[in-house]
C-alpha cells in the first residue's frame, strides 16, 4: 500500500495495488468500487475510485488514522491474566462499531472477505474502522482462495478455502475469530506453518473459549462459537441477529467528534521560509558543516508542529540519522531518550567528564537532533544537551541540533554568542494570507471568495497570530457548523447551527477529581482508557472542557496532555476503585511508556498507590538503570535504594 495526498480533493488517501489483474479481477474490483462508493459510514473506509494502468490496478481509499487493532490492544492496561470484565470493557465498544460497519457493508450487497486484525484500525477515541476488502461479490460462485492462505492467520472462513460460494456469512466467521483472539489471547485456528494451519482447518473444530478462559460467560462463548460454526447455515442469519444476541452486554461504539486531540493536523502553511532555512542546514550537515538552531516562541506559536515538519524533511534523506525527542510532564529527561547512549559506567562513582563526547561518538553518521520543550529540563540534563550543542557549534560532531523552548537558557557559558554555526529561528505571528490558505470557498463564485476572505479576517483576529489558538478556533467553528472540513482544509458556511451552551456533564466532577488525584498534566488517552467511568462520559467531559476553554490541551512527545481539571476538582467527590485504577494507570504507562525507562519512576509511583509493591520495585529498578545509562548516577542510586526498600517490605 502507498499513502498519498489527493490534490484534487485535498485529502489523504491510500492506494492498494493489484498486480497484473485479469478481466475477472478487474470486474470484481469494479463491483467493489461501485458498492463501497455508496457506503458512507464512520466505521468503514471510503473507497474513492479505481485507477487502471497498462499493467496494474489501484484501489484508492481514504486514509484512516489510528493503530492496527493488535497494536492498539497491546497498549491497553491489560496483561495475560486480566479478567474477562477488563477485556470486555475495552472490546465491547469496538465490537459494536465493527458490527455497525459490517452491517453497512452487507447492506450494500457486498462482503468484506478479509476481516482480520490488520484490517481493523482503531483511533484515539477507541472507534474502529474496517479497511481493506477481499475484492469479491457475495453472489459469486467458485472463488478458489486456497492459494491465498495467510500462514499463521486463521481468520478466513473455511468455506472460502474450500472454494465454495462466497457469502456474507464468511465475514461473521472472521469477526468471531478476531473476538476469540482478543478474549482468550489465543488464535482459534493456528499453526506454525502452512501445513499446520491447513491441518487445523481440516480438523474443523474450534475449542471453547472457556477452555482457555474459564471465567468467560457462557452466553458470550455460545455467541462466538456460533459465529464460527463450520457450517455457514448454522451461523446467525445476519449481523443484526449477532447484535441482538449480545443484547445489553454490548456497549455503544464511540461517535465521531471534532476534538483537537482526535482530528488530523492542519496543513503546514505560513512557515514555508523556515522549511527552506532547514533544508539549507541539512545540506550543510551533509557537507560536514554541523550547526545549532535555537527555536524560541510562546506556547501555541507552532514550535512542535514545525519540528514535526523538520523531522519529516530530514527523514526523507536515508543518509541522515534522525532523532526527535521531548521533555515530558513529570519526566523532563525523556528528551535524552533514543540518542544519548554513552557506554555504561559505575553508578556508585561520579560519571566521567567526557560522558557527552562518548555518547556523541556512538552516533552513526550525520545526525539530526530535534529536542522539544526544553523549558522543563533540570540543570543536570540541560548540561548534557548544552555540551552536545557546544560540540556541534565547535565542529567536533557532525550534528545538527535544534533546541526548542518558550525561552532557552543562556548558552554563552559554552558557546560564543557570535559563533557562525549557531542560528536563531523566529516564529512570527501568522499572517492573514496563511489563514486564507487554510480555507477554501464553496465555489469559484466571487461572492463565496468574499465569504472566505471575511471568515479568514475574523479567525486571524481572534487567534491573535498564534497557530495553536487558530486551530482551536477552527474546530470550535466546525462544531458550530460555520465551517465544514474537507480533506485538510475548511470551507466557510453562512449561518451554521446556533449551539446553546451545554450544561456541565453529569460525571465531569468525577473526571476532574480523578485528574487531580492522578496528577496533571495527564495524557488524554490515559484518562479515556483507565478511569473507572464510562469512556463516553470521560470524552464528553473533555469535549465540554475544550468548548468552554476550561481545559487546556497540549501535544508533548507525540501525545496529547490535558490540564485544568484539578483546578475545578471538588473535595466532596469520593473516588472508588482507587487502588485498581492506579494499577490500570501503571500498566498503561508500562505499555505506552518510553522504551528507555526514563519515565519509569512515574509508573512506580502508581504501582505503589495500587499496593503492588513488587511491581513498584521492578519499575524503580528500570528507572535506576535508565538514570545510570545517562550518567545521572545520584538519581540511579536513589532509585535503586527505593527498589530495594520495596523488595524488603512486599
| Confidence (pLDDT) at 140 | 39
Residue 33 located in a structural domain: no
Which of the 8 DSSP states describes residue 15?
E
Residue 536 located in a structural domain: yes
317: burial class by Cβ within 10 Å (0-12, 13-18, 19+)? middle
How far apart CA 204 and CA 207 sit, in angstroms, is 10
Residue 114 located in a structural domain: yes
Of 150, 206, 151, the C-alpha closest to 179 is 206
Q: Which residue has the cell 487554510?
A: 438
Kindly tell me the sign of the dihedral angle through the C-alpha atoms of 462, 468, 470, 475. Answer: negative
Q: Which own/partner pairs from 46-53 qualify as long-range (CB within 8 Å, at least 24 positions apart)?
A: 47/133, 48/6, 48/9, 48/13, 51/15, 52/26
pTM to 2 decimals? 0.88
Whether the Cβ atoms of residue 507 and residue 561 lie closer than 8 Å to each other = no
Chosen domain end from 425, 444, 479: 425
Interhelix angle 535-548/508-518, rounded to 10 degrees, is 90
Label the pairing between strands 559-563 and 552-556. antiparallel
Residue 503 located in a structural domain: no
Residue 543 located in a structural domain: yes
How far apart CA 299 and CA 111 sit, in angstroms, is 49
Is there a single domain that holds both residue 178 and residue 316? no
Q: Which residue has the cell 468467560?
A: 216
For residues 395-404, give the mean pLDDT. 96
Chosen domain end from 371, 398, 425: 425
How far apart CA 218 and CA 498 sit, in angstroms, is 49
Chosen domain end from 234, 249, 264: 249
Is there a single domain that holds both residue 627 and residue 606? yes
End-to-end CA distance of the chain: 51
**What residues are paired with 323 via a beta bridge?**
369
Q: What CATH number did the domain enclosing 364 receive?
A: 3.40.50.300
Residue-wise pLDDT for 119-133, tens only, equals 999 998 889 999 987
Which of the 8 DSSP states describes residue 232?
G
Residue 499 has pLDDT above 70, yes or no: no
Residue-wise pLDDT for 445-479, tens only, equals 899 999 999 999 999 999 998 998 998 899 888 88
* Three cell numbers written together for 311: 523531522
Of 546, 551, 581, the C-alpha closest to 564 is 551
Residue-wise pLDDT for 354-386, tens only, equals 999 999 999 989 999 999 999 989 888 999 999
Give the CA distances from residue 338 to residues 136, 291, 346, 380, in Å, rounded to whole numbers and listed in that order. 45, 20, 21, 18
Residue 59 located in a structural domain: no
For residues 580-606, give the mean pLDDT. 92
Q: What are the φ/ψ torsions at residue 109 (nearest 5 degrees)?
A: 65, 40
Is there a single domain that holds both residue 110 and residue 206? yes
Is there a single domain that holds both residue 421 and residue 456? no
Residue 145 has pLDDT above 50, yes or no: no
Residue-wise pLDDT for 44-67, tens only, equals 988 877 777 777 878 788 888 899
Is there a single domain that holds both residue 308 and residue 223? no
Is there a single domain that holds both residue 165 and residue 309? no
Give the CA distances from residue 46 to residues 64, 380, 542, in Å, rounded to whole numbers and listed in that order. 9, 51, 28
| Confidence (pLDDT) at 344 | 85
19: confidence class by pLDDT, cuts 50, 70, 90: confident
Is there a single domain that holds both residue 318 and residue 379? yes
Is there a single domain that holds both residue 221 and residue 114? yes
| Confidence (pLDDT) at 346 | 84
Residue-wise pLDDT for 558-579, tens only, equals 899 999 999 888 878 999 999 9
What residues have CB less than 8 Å from 114, skipping those under 6 apart? Answer: 132, 133, 134, 156, 174
Whether the Cβ atoms of residue 406 and residue 443 lie closer than 8 Å to each other = no
Is there a single domain that holds both residue 118 and residue 220? yes
Give the CA distances from residue 376 to residues 51, 122, 380, 403, in Å, rounded to whole numbers and listed in that order. 50, 32, 12, 12
Residue 603 has pLDDT above 90, yes or no: yes
Residue 606 located in a structural domain: yes
Interhelix angle 613-629/633-649, rounded to 10 degrees, is 160
Is there a single domain that holds both residue 480 and residue 520? no
Q: For the ranges 78-87, 93-102, 258-267, 584-593, which has the lowest average pLDDT?
A: 258-267
* Residue 306 structural domain: 272-425
Residue 134 has pLDDT above 70, yes or no: no
HEC secondary structure over 396-415: CCCEEEEEEECCCCCCCCCC
Is there a single domain that holds both residue 105 and residue 243? yes
Of 400, 383, 401, the C-alpha closest to 332 is 383
Number of domains into which the chain is organized: 4
Whether the Cβ atoms of residue 372 and residue 325 lie closer than 8 Å to each other = yes
Residue 124 located in a structural domain: yes
Is there a single domain that holds both residue 311 and residue 390? yes
Amino acid at each position: 500500500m502507498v499513502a498519498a495526498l489527493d490534490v484534487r480533493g485535498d485529502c489523504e488517501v491510500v492506494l492498494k495495488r493489484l498486480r497484473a489483474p485479469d478481466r475477472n479481477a478487474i470486474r470484481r474490483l469494479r463491483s467493489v468500487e461501485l458498492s463501497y462508493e455508496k457506503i458512507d459510514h464512520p466505521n468503514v473506509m471510503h473507497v474513492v475510485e479505481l485507477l487502471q494502468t497498462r499493467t496494474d490496478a489501484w484501489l484508492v481509499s481514504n486514509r484512516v488514522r489510528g493503530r492496527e487493532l493488535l497494536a492498539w490492544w497491546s497498549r491497553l492496561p491489560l496483561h495475560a491474566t486480566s479478567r474477562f470484565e477488563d477485556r470486555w470493557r475495552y472490546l465491547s465498544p469496538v465490537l459494536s462499531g465493527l458490527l455497525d460497519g459490517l452491517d453497512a457493508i452487507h447492506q450494500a450487497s457486498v462482503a468484506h472477505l478479509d476481516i482480520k486484525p490488520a484490517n481493523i484500525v482503531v483511533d484515539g477515541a477507541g472507534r474502529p474502522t474496517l479497511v481493506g476488502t477481499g475484492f469479491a461479490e457475495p453472489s459469486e460462485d467458485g472463488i478458489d482462495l486456497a492459494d491465498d492462505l495467510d500462514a499463521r492467520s486463521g481468520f478466513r472462513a473455511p468455506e472460502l478455502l474450500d472454494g465454495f460460494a462466497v457469502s456474507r456469512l464468511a465475514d461473521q466467521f472472521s469477526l468471531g475469530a478476531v473476538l476469540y483472539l482478543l478474549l482468550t489471547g489465543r488464535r482459534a485456528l493456528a499453526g506454525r506453518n502452512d501445513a499446520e494451519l491447513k491441518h487445523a482447518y481440516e480438523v474443523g473444530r474450534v475449542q471453547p473459549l472457556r477452555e482457555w478462559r474459564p471465567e468467560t460467560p457462557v452466553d458470550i462463548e455460545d455467541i462466538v462459537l456460533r459465529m464460527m460454526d463450520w457450517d455457514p447455515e448454522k451461523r446467525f442469519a445476519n449481523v443484526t441477529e449477532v447484535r441482538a444476541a449480545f443484547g445489553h452486554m454490548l456497549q455503544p461504539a464511540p461517535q465521531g467528534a471534532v476534538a483537537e486531540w482526535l482530528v488530523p493536523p492542519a496543513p503546514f502553511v505560513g512557515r514555508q521560509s523556515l522549511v527552506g532555512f532547514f533544508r539549507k542546514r541539512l545540506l550543510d550537515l551533509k557537507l560536514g558543516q554541523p550547526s545549532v538552531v535555537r527555536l524560541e516562541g510562546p506556547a501555541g506559536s507552532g514550535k512542535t508542529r514545525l519540528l514535526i515538519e523538520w523531522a519529516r524533511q530530514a527523514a526523507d534523506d536515508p543518509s541522515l540519522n534522525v532523532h526527535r525527542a521531548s521533555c515530558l510532564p513529570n519526566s523532563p529527561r525523556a528528551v535524552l531518550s533514543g540518542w544519548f547512549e554513552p557506554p555504561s559506567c559505575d553508578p556508585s562513582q561520579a560519571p566521567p567528564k567526557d560522558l557527552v563526547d562518548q555518547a556523541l561518538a556512538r552516533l552513526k553518521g550525520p545526525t539530526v537532533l530535534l529536542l522539544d520543550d526544553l523549558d522543563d529540563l533540570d540543570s543536570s540534563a540541560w548540561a548534557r544537551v548544552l555540551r552536545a550543542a557546544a560540540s556541534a557549534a565547535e565542529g567536533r560532531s557532525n550534528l545538527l541540533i535544534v533546541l526548542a523552548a518558550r525561552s532557552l537558557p543562556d548558552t554563552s557559558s559554552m558557546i560564543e554568542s557570535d559563533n557562525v554555526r549557531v542560528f536563531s529561528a523566529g516564529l512570527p505571528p501568522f499572517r492573514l494570507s496563511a489563514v486564507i490558505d487554510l480555507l477554501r470557498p464553496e465555489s469559484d463564485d466571487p461572492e463565496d471568495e468574499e465569504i472566505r476572505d471575511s471568515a479568514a479576517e475574523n479567525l486571524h483576529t481572534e487567534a491573535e497570530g498564534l497557530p495553536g489558538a487558530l486551530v482551536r478556533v477552527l474546530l470550535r467553528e466546525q462544531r458550530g457548523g460555520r465551517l465544514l472540513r474537507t480533506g485538510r482544509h475548511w470551507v466557510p458556511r453562512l449561518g451554521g447551527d446556533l449551539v446553546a451552551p451545554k450544561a456541565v456533564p453529569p460525571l465531569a466532577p468525577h473526571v476532574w477529581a480523578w485528574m487531580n488525584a492522578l496528577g496533571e498534566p495527564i495524557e488524554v488517552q490515559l484518562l479515556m482508557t483507565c478511569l473507572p467511568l464510562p469512556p463516553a462520559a470521560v470524552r464528553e467531559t473533555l469535549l465540554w472542557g475544550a468548548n468552554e476553554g476550561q481545559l487546556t490541551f497540549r501535544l508533548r512527545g507525540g501525545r496529547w496532555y490535558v490540564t485544568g481539571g484539578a483546578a475545578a476538582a471538588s473535595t466532596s467527590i469520593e473516588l472508588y476503585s482507587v487502588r485498581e485504577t492506579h494499577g490500570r494507570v501503571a500498566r498503561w504507562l508500562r505499555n505506552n511508556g518510553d522504551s528507555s525507562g526514563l519515565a519509569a519512576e512515574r509508573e512506580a509511583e502508581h504501582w505503589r498507590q495500587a499496593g503492588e509493591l513488587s511491581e513498584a520495585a521492578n519499575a524503580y529498578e528500570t528507572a535506576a538503570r535508565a538514570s545510570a545509562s545517562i550518567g545521572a548516577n545520584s538519581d540511579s542510586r536513589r532509585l535503586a535504594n527505593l527498589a530495594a526498600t520495596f523488595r524488603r517490605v512486599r
